[in-house]
Amino acid sequence: MQVNITHLRKDFGATRAVDDISFSFSSGQIIGFVGSNGAGKTTTMRILATLDEPTSGDAKIDDVSVVEVPEQARRLIGYVPDALPMHRDISVHEYLDFFARAYGLMGTQRRQVLESIEGFTNLTGIQEKNLYALSKGMKQRVSLARALVHDPPVLVMDEPAAGLDPRARVELRELLRVLSSQGKAILISSHLLTELSEICDRAVIIEQGRIITAGTLQEIAKSDIEQHTVLIRSLNRQDDLYKSLLLIANVAAVNRLGNEIEAKISGSEETCSDLLENLIRDGYRIVEFKQQGGDLESVFMNVTKGEVQ
Amino acid sequence: MKSIGNSLEKINDRLNPIVVKELRQAVQGKFLIVVLICFLCLQLLTMGLFLIVDESISVSFDAGLNICRALLEILFGTCLLFVPAYTGIRLASERTDANVDLLFITTLRPRSIIWGKFFASLVLTVLLYSACMPFMTFTYLLRGVDLPSIFILLALVFIVVAVGIQCAILIGCIPANRVFKVILSVGWFGLVVTIFPVLSVIMFLPGGLLDSGIGSQLGSWSFWRGALGVLSGGLALIGLCALLSVALISPLSTNRALPVRIFVTAVWLLTGIGAAIWSIEVNDLAPLSTWGFIHILLYSIGLFVAVSERERLGQRIRQNIPRRRLLRLLVFPFYSGAASGVVWASLMIILTALPIAAWTGIFPHMFNHDLETLKSLVGLGLYAFSYALGALLIRRRFLADRVAGAYTWVIALVLFGFTTTIIPLGLFFISGEWEQVWLVASPLGLLLFVNTNESHLVLHSVTIATVCAAFAGALSLPWLVRQLGNFKPLEQEAASDSQTNDPR
């Protein structure tokens, strides 16, 4: 199953929320969708979930267009919105049963599916509890279970880890790994970039409605970073090292971090290598020269400017 | 036993999921239980008080009638106030943008959702009815009231409540912010408070339907004609509100206007034929002109809604636009979009006024009629056209960056308020005395002049409306032509774009 998003654009009056976004992902992949608040993540996801219509462009799940045949597309997509289910006077089981019925599951099949989903998302013990009274983490599980009721091949998850405690986040991560191994294509947005980088195969970074960069984390780090952050520790002449670095043309900024010095170096990896060689030649006893970055958070900070529409 | 179980299982599977969910929530919630208990207590108290306090009960033959009257009032009030409010409030809370899961992300069709909500509310009404039935039976035993009267009035109450429920569903579906929803709720409450005593007087109070002994009229055609009229009117209102509700929760990408416009056009035709037959039967134009007034009022509101629709159609709608030019022109009024809406509503106003004008022209001596009614109908339509297109022009020319297209109706309302209140009040304060002529540029003034038989003022008002409509129409014509030109299928637009971009 292949999801292709092509030249997607969405205008809200004079504001362009999504501007010519194109990317694709397929079964078994987890794609991190990263961007600042107002970057256009939720709008893109809502379009994919058929809740909004794009101004132009399309998104297709294999050959099923979310614009032309949203009813068919909804069968293929499980959407976890950023808002948690807050309905009163309904138990977890009844809530899930409603969705199973809405997706046309009947009789024994419906009962089996619900049993299996409740077991998978660890809701079995609380299925008779009132939905409204659940904790945030539990509601997030219910939301995921709801998205899985009709066994969709594509999962679109908008900030599923927001507000979760560390244990719930770890459990969510494990669930996503299992779902990915079952062959589901997963698009997930989150501000918890460290967590996201641990589970994502690829990432798409957007800002002001446009894709800044996309690919595997390694590809992104190599292709777009013009500045390297390096941690340097010397056994001697720490103060001199700090002053020397300030005078070097390629070094954009220098910070003291305890007994280490953080230097932002403009240029390629060769520039970093040359710097290390020069420092050793100048008599500094360097014991640590560690390049930072490569993780999603660093990449994100480097490639975005924090601008919103 | 197993086959019964299987059948029940099948029925359970076939039930509308919204009905199942709504009833589960109603049963688990406190609201329904509280209302039901209060309702039962109130009935018990009413009946007890009647039996204890009313001394004439042992000698009078009206005891059953009096108690029945009171019980019907309680039932009507409870059903009309609580069931629609409960349904509307619940739907409005599920309809918010942040709460998309129940209404928008399943494969349930919008019409299943709306009919599901409606049916679930009817079940709640039946529940309240069932709580009332034992008391009603008791009133029959106390004499003074016949069973057909009780059943017919219960059916009448049921129709009114069903219309109320569907109206509440429509209000709940309106995508509005909290302030607007509060205004709508207050408006709804005001409407209920107004309707309740009026209908109570007609149905239950002394001299009303209950006293008339409906049971004895079951054999007469006039009774069944009235009953059919009420039933069809109720069904038409329910159908209209349901289709409007479906349109409001349907995706923007669909042609949401089509079912509503087909339904309204069909109702227009059927009620028009009915009104014409009635006019011939009573030799009076009143039924036909009432039909005209209701429809022109409806399309005038339709014009305000139409100018607030979006001007650019989505990809999905444009894929379904016919390729043949003539067919495209014919179906244009039945598509979503501001221009289509304006064309459809204007056409319907013309088509409503024309037959009445033609009829009064062809058969001038056939009916008792006065031309002022016709003029007022035409004038109302022209005023609505002027306000709507005037608002569209103002927004497009001067407020395009400040006011979203969806709020064009607010500008139209401001224009209406300006000509109806600000100008006359201004003239009143300047001159120090009130003259009717100051309302000459207002539809309300037009209605006032018709009622007070001020023929010359009616003519002036209609003339002003005609000039305004011609002015607004002429200024909007380029926009309308452009919109009509843009109304073509996606492939054709892509082809014409590629031709334009071709350097050769």
Q: Predicted confidence band at A48 (pLDDT cuts at 50, 70, 90)?
A: very high
Indicate the residue type of B331. V
User: Does A262 score more than 60 pLDDT?
Assistant: yes
Beta strand pairing status for A185-189 and A154-158? parallel
- In whole angstroms, give the CA distance from residue B270 to residue B267: 5
Same domain, B226 and B287: no
Supply B257's token pair: 């206007």
* Per-residue pLDDT tens over the stretch A96-127: 999 999 988 888 889 999 999 888 888 888 88
Whether B121 is covered by a domain: the verdict is yes
User: Does A27 score more than 50 pLDDT?
Assistant: yes
- Chain A CB contacts of B9 below 8 Å: 107
Higher pLDDT, B246 or B493: B246
Same domain, B340 and B470: yes
A162 in contact with B, Cβ within 8 Å: no
User: Does B150 score more than 60 pLDDT?
Assistant: yes
- Chain A CB contacts of B252 below 8 Å: 53
Same domain, B174 and B280: no
* Per-residue pLDDT tens over the stretch A149-186: 999 999 999 888 877 778 878 888 888 888 899 899 99
* Per-residue pLDDT tens over the stretch B228-256: 888 888 999 999 999 999 998 887 778 88
Most confident of A132-136, B3-7, B191-195, B473-477: B473-477
Whether B189 is covered by a domain: the verdict is yes
CB contact under 8 A, A85 and B101: yes
Whether B483 is covered by a domain: the verdict is yes
User: Does A271 score more than 60 pLDDT?
Assistant: yes
A143 in contact with B, Cβ within 8 Å: yes
CB contact under 8 A, A89 and B253: no
Give the domain range for residue B443: 275-487
Whole-number mean pLDDT of chain A?
A: 84
CA distance, residue A290 to nearest chain B CA (Å): 45
- Chain A CB contacts of B108 below 8 Å: 102
How many domains does one find in chain B?
2
A9 in contact with B, Cβ within 8 Å: no
The whole-number pLDDT of residue B121 equals 95
- In whole angstroms, give the CA distance from residue B260 to residue B250: 12
3-state secondary structure of A104: coil
A146 in contact with B, Cβ within 8 Å: yes
- In whole angstroms, give the CA distance from residue B63 to residue B4: 46
Residue of A101, A109, A114, A148 for testing the chain B interface, max B β-carbons within 10 Å? A101
CA distance, residue A101 to nearest chain B CA (Å): 6
H helical segments located in B142-256: 147-173, 178-203, 221-249
Most confident of A127-131, B48-52, B103-107, B117-121: B117-121
- Percentage above 70 pLDDT, chain A: 93
CB contact under 8 A, A86 and B21: no
Look-up of token digits 């590809």: A219
Higher pLDDT, B125 or B311: B125
A237 in contact with B, Cβ within 8 Å: no
Average the pLDDT over each of A217-231, A274-288, B424-438 and give the range with the smallest value. Answer: A217-231
Whether B499 is covered by a domain: the verdict is no
CB contact under 8 A, A70 and B98: no
Same domain, B318 and B230: no
Residues sharing a CB contact under 8 Å with residue B77, sequence separation 6 or more, in sequence order: B196
Same domain, B184 and B292: no
User: Does B213 score more than 80 pLDDT?
Assistant: no
Average the pLDDT over each of A128-137, B87-96, B100-109 and give the range with the smallest value. Answer: B100-109
Whole-number mean pLDDT of chain B?
A: 83
CB contact under 8 A, A104 and B314: no
User: Does B364 score more than 60 pLDDT?
Assistant: yes
A40: left (phi over 0), alpha (psi -120 to 50) or beta: left
Most confident of A273-277, A290-294, B237-241: B237-241
What is the set of domains in chain A, with CATH numbers? 2-220 (3.40.50.300), 226-292 (3.30.70.980)
Which residue on chain A is closest to B93 by alpha carbon? A87
Q: What is the mean pLDDT of residues B266-270?
A: 93
Supply A56's token pair: 């132009």
* Cα A159 from chain centroid (whole Å): 8
Whether B36 is covered by a domain: the verdict is yes
Same domain, B318 and B420: yes
User: Does B495 score more than 60 pLDDT?
Assistant: no
**Phi/psi at B441 (nearest 5 deg)?**
-100, 30
Query: Looking at the partner chain, which of B21, B100, B109 has a beta carbon nearest the beta carbon of A98?
Result: B21
- In whole angstroms, give the CA distance from residue B204 to residue B157: 10
Q: Predicted confidence band at B500 (pLDDT cuts at 50, 70, 90)?
A: very low
Whether B268 is covered by a domain: the verdict is no
- In whole angstroms, give the CA distance from residue B451 to residue A157: 63
* Per-residue pLDDT tens over the stretch B418-436: 888 888 888 888 877 777 7
Supply B476's token pair: 């909007």
Q: What is the mean pLDDT of residues B268-297?
A: 87
The whole-number pLDDT of residue B348 equals 94
Residues sharing a CB contact under 8 Å with residue B290, sequence separation 6 or more, in sequence order: B275
Which whole-number Å values give the CA distances from B461 to B10, B383, B429, B455, B456, in the listed order? 64, 10, 22, 10, 9
Average the pLDDT over each of B22-31, B34-43, B415-424 and give the range with the smallest value. Answer: B415-424
Helix (H) or strand (E) segment spanning residue A5: strand A2-12
Query: Looking at the partner chain, which of A68, A74, A107 has a beta carbon nearest the beta carbon of B105?
Result: A74
A257 in contact with B, Cβ within 8 Å: no
**Phi/psi at A137 (nearest 5 deg)?**
-60, -40
Q: Predicted confidence band at B165 (pLDDT cuts at 50, 70, 90)?
A: very high
Q: Number of helices and strands (H, E) in chain A? A: 11, 14
- In whole angstroms, give the CA distance from residue B319 to residue B493: 11
- Chain A CB contacts of B253 below 8 Å: 53, 67, 70
The whole-number pLDDT of residue B502 equals 39
Beta strand pairing status for A227-234 and A260-266? antiparallel
- Least Cα distance to A162 among A139, A134, A132 occurs for A139
Same domain, B290 and B240: no
Whether B208 is covered by a domain: the verdict is yes
Tell me, what's the ipTM? Answer: 0.76
Average the pLDDT over each of A234-243, B69-78, B213-222, B379-388 and give the range with the smallest value. Answer: B213-222
User: Is B92 within 8 Å of B181 (Cβ atoms)?
Assistant: yes
Indicate the residue type of B447. L
The whole-number pLDDT of residue B240 equals 92
User: Does A192 score more than 80 pLDDT?
Assistant: no
Higher pLDDT, A84 or A60: A60
- In whole angstroms, give the CA distance from residue A200 to residue B34: 51
For chain B, the residues whose C-beta falls within 8 A of a C-beta of chain A are 9-10, 13, 15, 17, 20-21, 24-26, 28-29, 94, 98-102, 104-109, 251-253, 314-316, 319, 401, 404
Kindly provide the b/e burial profile for residues A84-99, where b requires at least 16 CB atoms within 10 angstroms of the residue's own CB.
bbebebbbbbbbbbbb
Beta strand pairing status for A2-12 and A15-26? antiparallel
Same domain, B152 and B203: yes
- Chain A CB contacts of B107 below 8 Å: 71, 74-75, 102-104
The whole-number pLDDT of residue A1 equals 82
Most confident of B113-122, B272-281, B306-315, B328-337: B113-122
Report angle CA A148, A111, A62 to the nearest 5 degrees: 30
Q: Predicted confidence band at A222 (pLDDT cuts at 50, 70, 90)?
A: low
3-state secondary structure of A12: strand
Same domain, B231 and B281: no
Supply B341's token pair: 């809406």
Same domain, B236 and B280: no
Supply B66's token pair: 């009096």
Whether B122 is covered by a domain: the verdict is yes
Residue of B105, B108, B317, B493 for testing the chain A interface, max A β-carbons within 10 Å? B105
Same domain, B287 and B238: no
Residues 35-54 of A with CB under 8 A from B: 49-51, 53-54
Residue of A53, A64, A155 for testing the chain B interface, max B β-carbons within 10 Å? A53
Indicate the residue type of B388. A
Look-up of token digits 């998309």: B100
Same domain, B294 and B215: no
User: Does B401 score more than 50 pLDDT?
Assistant: yes
* Cα A307 from chain centroid (whole Å): 18
Look-up of token digits 């460290």: A194
CA distance, residue B77 to nearest chain A CA (Å): 26
CB contact under 8 A, A89 and B25: yes
**Phi/psi at A232 (nearest 5 deg)?**
-120, 135
Q: What is the mean pLDDT of residues B396-405?
A: 82
Indicate the residue type of A293. G
User: Is A168 within 8 Å of A140 (Cβ atoms)?
Assistant: yes
- Percentage above 90 pLDDT, chain A: 18
Supply B65's token pair: 């009638």
User: Is B212 within 8 Å of B236 (Cβ atoms)?
Assistant: no
Residue of B15, B24, B101 for testing the chain A interface, max A β-carbons within 10 Å? B101
